[in-house]
Structure 1
Amino acid sequence: MKTILCFGDSITWGYNPKDATRLPPEHRWPNILSEALGPDVEVIAEGLNGRTLAVEDPLRPDRGGLAKLPFLLESHAPLDTVIIMLGTNDCAPCYKLTIGEIALACARLIMTVKQSLAGPGGTAPATLLISPPHMGELEPTIGLFYNGGQTLCTELAEAYRMVATSLGTAYLDAAPVASPDEPDGVHLGPDGQRKLALAVKDVIAPLL
């Protein structure tokens, strides 16, 4: 049995862009990935609305991924692969981050996995870094948080590609694969979730 941890934000959690509820389990990409990989692979979804790579927000506490990942690695060990898809929330103007700071936080998350003992036999799990989908036209309420961060979000792909290359990590750019649904312009509907899951399957299957 192989085990995969999907560490992400509201897209991994399954936020429904139509009505802000949670998508049914069968429409969330980690569950679709599990079905596509078959019964010999366990896929663990660790998605949290508002999760960032590292920055902490006093209005939404405990969302910094860097502080939480070590505990999750330990609690779910042994893990064969850890998938990281974060960064959309870090692009929000309220955090005032540069693309370099986001890339550095991303690299620190990957190094946390690589330096862990969370893999089989006390080794380090493999990692897959996913650059999130680009933002679309934002619904006004969503725009209160994300407006102004669209350009930064489009810069994640190249920055993440460089991080993945330098750290020897598998990489997937989700932007060409899936686009956010209307009306909110950030989250994936059922079709986008499925497209993402199948693209991840093609990248991750060789790692297993």
Structure 2
Amino acid sequence: MKTILCYGDSLTWGYDPLTGNRIAIDKRWPGALRQILGHKYIIIEEGLNGRTTVWDDPLHGGYKNGKKYLIPCLASHRPIDLVIVFLGTNDLKMRFSLSAAEITQGIRVLVNIILKSESGPGGNSPKILLVAPPHITELSSFAPEFESGKIKSRQLGAYYSQVAEEYGCSFLDSSKVVVASNIDGIHLDSVEHVKLGYKIAEIVEEILK
């Protein structure tokens, strides 16, 4: 039995751009991943709307900070074979005033925490799949928060790829697989979630074979 931790934000939680509710469990990407991989895998869905990499949100508080919850999360679910890190979109909000390079530094911090956590089998490090978020497209309801993030979102894939190479992690640029909904320009609809789940399943089977 292999354990996979899916650590992310609303793109992992399954925020429906049409309704604002949660997409059905079998239609969001971790659920699709579970269906594809089968009963030999435990899929832990740890998505939180608004989660950042390492930043306290001045409007919503410290609990949105991905760094603060990552350590207890790893400890509570150990042993973990693979951690899928899918964060960075919320760091693009205007109130953080971060460059793509600074957002990537946050990702680097999280990768270091995972590698030093001893939360893998036998007290070793879990393997890591680093996923760059999809590009922000035309914005509607979220425009005031992400107005400056559209261009920077297109820079994250290249930066994340460098981090993955540096630390020996697996990498996926989700913008090569899925497109954000034209309703809000940020989130994925159920069709894109399932598509992403299938692609991640391919990579996971290769990592954990």
TM-score, normalised to structure 1's length? 0.97
Q: Is the 8 A contact 1:18 1:182 kept in 2?
A: no
Equivalent residue number for residue 81 of structure 2 = 80
Identity %: 38
5+ residue gaps in structure 1? none
Partner letter of residue 98 of structure 2? Answer: L
Partners in 2 of 1:44 and 1:86 — Cα distance? 16
Deviation at 1:75, TM superposition (A): 0.8
What is the SS of the residue equivalent to 1:44?
strand
What is the SS of the residue equivalent to 2:129?
strand
**Segments ≥4 residues shifted beyond 3 Å:** none
Partners in 2 of 1:98 and 1:182 — Cα distance? 24
Q: Is the 8 A contact 2:81 2:126 kept in 1?
A: yes
Residue 105 in structure 1 maps to residue 106 in structure 2? yes
Equivalent residue number for residue 199 of structure 2 = 199
What is the SS of the residue equivalent to 1:26?
coil
1:151-189 deviations in whole A, cap 9, x for unaligned?
A: 111100000001110111000000010011131111000
In the TM superposition, 1:88-127 aligns within 5 A as 88-127=89-128
Partners in 1 of 2:101 and 2:183 — Cα distance? 30
Partners in 1 of 2:175 and 2:199 — Cα distance? 11
* Number of positions where the alignment pairs a residue of Structure 1 with one of Structure 2: 207
1:72-121 deviations in whole A, cap 9, x for unaligned?
A: 00011110000000001111121011222111111110111100111111
What is the SS of the residue equivalent to 1:25?
coil
TM-score, normalised to structure 2's length? 0.97
Residue 49 in structure 1 maps to residue 45 in structure 2? no
Partners in 2 of 1:202 and 1:25 — Cα distance? 20
5+ residue gaps in structure 2? none
Deviates more, 1:198-207 or 1:73-82: 198-207
Equivalent residue number for residue 64 of structure 1 = 65
Deviates more, 1:165-174 or 1:53-62: 53-62
Equivalent residue number for residue 178 of structure 1 = 178
Deviation at 1:199, TM superposition (A): 0.9
Equivalent residue number for residue 142 of structure 1 = 142
RMSD between superposed Cα atoms in Å: 0.8
Partners in 2 of 1:146 and 1:50 — Cα distance? 12
Q: Is the 8 A contact 2:26 2:35 kept in 1?
A: no
Equivalent residue number for residue 9 of structure 1 = 9
Partners in 2 of 1:162 and 1:207 — Cα distance? 19
Partners in 1 of 2:16 and 2:66 — Cα distance? 22
What is the SS of the residue equivalent to 2:4?
strand
Equivalent residue number for residue 155 of structure 2 = 155
What is the SS of the residue equivalent to 1:84?
strand
Equivalent residue number for residue 165 of structure 2 = 165
Partners in 1 of 2:154 and 2:136 — Cα distance? 8
Partners in 2 of 1:129 and 1:119 — Cα distance? 16
Partners in 1 of 2:147 and 2:196 — Cα distance? 24
Q: Is the 8 A contact 2:94 2:147 kept in 1?
A: yes
